[in-house]
Amino acid sequence: MNPTIVSRFRRGASFTGEHLDLSGTVVQLKALTPGQGAALKLLSDGDRDDTELAAAVTALDGETGLLRWHMLFRGLNVSGLIEHAVRVTGEADETGRAGEAGRAGEAGEITGITARLRLVGRGTTLLAPAPAGPARLSRFAEARVVDGTLTLQAPGRHLAVELAPRAAGLLGELANWSTGVPAPVLRLLATAGLLAPGGPEDDVETTERSHAQWHPGDLAFHARTRTPASAPGYGGTHPLGDRFPPEPVSPPPAGTRTVALPVPDLERIAAADPSLTEVLERRRSIRAHDTEAPITLDQLGELLYRSLRRRGTMTGSDGQELADRPYPSGGAVHELEVYPLVTACEGVPAGLWHYATDRHELELVAEPCKATAALVSEARGAAMLEADPQVVLLVAARFGRVMWKYETVAYPLVLKHVGVLYQTLYLVATAMNLAVCGLGGGDSAAFATASGRDPLLEGTVGELVLGSRPRMEG
């Protein structure tokens, strides 16, 4: 086995013999020498090692052409136009394969690519050196199947490493500090930021606070959504636009049993409301409810109406129906739905209800049952309440509303919307002298059981406990 690094133009880039073609964009390279042109053609045709490229240059330009070729090749790497790979030449493995593009060479030898470094974001493709001592895979490295190929990426990095089946065993070898992995493979992994910093005696990922405090899942999510250079798809890219229609602004009706909510008189409310400053200064999380006088249907209706009723419906330029509610929403997609889970509310029977923002009514989703009791008990525990909360406001997201339009910002938008809805509910509840407390966690599996909703289509992302304010408070 003789692993060597080979290079070629990245996917979407090629040299026609006259100019560079970058996914249809023509880039002229000025004053190319015949040797440079020949080497670029080789890179365009497939994987070549340094020796093959240098031979093409020197055959036409002489030895003196090499320096200028190296400068040109470096420029192509700085522009992120090259893909590097590890090519092995040797005996076939027991499966008879050498890896991607394995092909028979001399006397039964097999040549194949076992690992390939590819650009997945924006940045250079300059190779880093292989580590001098033992190497280990970063605990933040993520392995995914992309278009049928095992692909490794580190959070926030613009390069990924694809592994052929015969090289997948290297991942097991690199689960701990090892010197058993060929240097060319380590170079690719190091360039993609996939190797742990430090060494066996200095394991930075566990000893340094900056690394130790991150769970790999959280860092991957943070990096994907906050480092556009590492993941294309920022903004409204409509990833599902040509495969699925947008989801309508109104969810399908939840059930046949409904409770109409009175429409509050906003003029009268505006005249009687405390000032914004007073509300902000008075706002507190209140973790007790007045059991003698539970919250009423009128109060629940007023809170929901003032916080999240639909004030209008529009259609976006992409054809997606949009909504206007009192609180803001990225792209006006308004994917959040509120499900009041009632245990004690005068005028509303106990059960899991859905608030229809357009019709300002409650729709019964589930009668009280084991699953709703579990949700109540969970909220009671999270808020450290001495009795069951009168109402739990379960906040669910219809993920397709955001994910049809957005990619990398889709889920973060949902969480931001939960934040603005929390604050809106807090402020309106405070103005109404109700007791509200936001919760930091919940169980979307329990909500799926109680509601019958497919958790991949609609799941809870927030919850608040709500009730009448105890008289001794404030």
Using CB under 6 A as the criterion, which residues of the chain lie in contact with ligand FMN when the complex forms? 284-285, 287, 382-384, 422, 437-440
Of 123 and 470, which has the nearer Cβ to ligand FMN?
470
Instruction: State the minimum distance, in angstroms, from the CB of residue 462 to ligand FMN.
Output: 7
Of 366 and 464, which has the nearer Cβ to ligand FMN?
464
Of 38 and 379, which has the nearer Cβ to ligand FMN?
379
Cα gap 441→431, rounded to integer Å: 25
Instruction: State the minimum distance, in angstroms, from the CB of residue 41 to ligand FMN.
Output: 59
Instruction: State the minimum distance, in angstroms, from the CB of residue 419 to ligand FMN.
Output: 7
Instruction: State the minimum distance, in angstroms, from the CB of residue 440 to ligand FMN.
Output: 3
Of 166 and 417, which has the nearer Cβ to ligand FMN?
417
Instruction: State the minimum distance, in angstroms, from the CB of residue 417 to ligand FMN.
Output: 13
Of 365 and 394, which has the nearer Cβ to ligand FMN?
394
Of 309 and 380, which has the nearer Cβ to ligand FMN?
380
3-state secondary structure the chain: CCCEEEEEECCCEEECCCEEEECCEEEECCCCCHHHHHHHHHHHHCCEEHHHHHHHHHHHHCCCHHHHHHHHHHHHHHCCCEEEEEEEEECCCCCCCCCEEEEECHHHCEEEEEEEEEECCCCCCCCCCCCCCCECECCCCEEEEECCEEEEECCCCCEEEEECHHHCHHHHHCCCCECCCCHHHHHHHHHCCCECCCECCECHHHHCHHHHCCCHHHHHHHHHHHCHHHCCCCCECCCCCCCCCCCCCCCCCCCCCEEECCCCCHHHHHHHCCCHHHHHHHCCCCCCCCCCCCCEHHHHHHHHHHHHCCCEEEECCCCCEEEECCCCCHHHCCCEEEEEEECCEECECCEEEEEECCCCEEEEEECCCHHHHHHHHHHHHHCCCCCCCCEEEEEEEEHHHHHCCECCCHHHHHHHHHHHHHHHHHHHHHHCCEEEEEECCCCHHHHHHHHCCCCCCEEEEEEEEEEECCCCCC
Instruction: State the minimum distance, in angstroms, from the CB of residue 225 to ligand FMN.
Output: 18
Of 137 and 434, which has the nearer Cβ to ligand FMN?
434
Instruction: State the minimum distance, in angstroms, from the CB of residue 425 to ligand FMN.
Output: 10
Of 65 and 438, which has the nearer Cβ to ligand FMN?
438
Of 50 and 473, which has the nearer Cβ to ligand FMN?
473
Instruction: State the minimum distance, in angstroms, from the CB of residue 442 to ligand FMN.
Output: 9
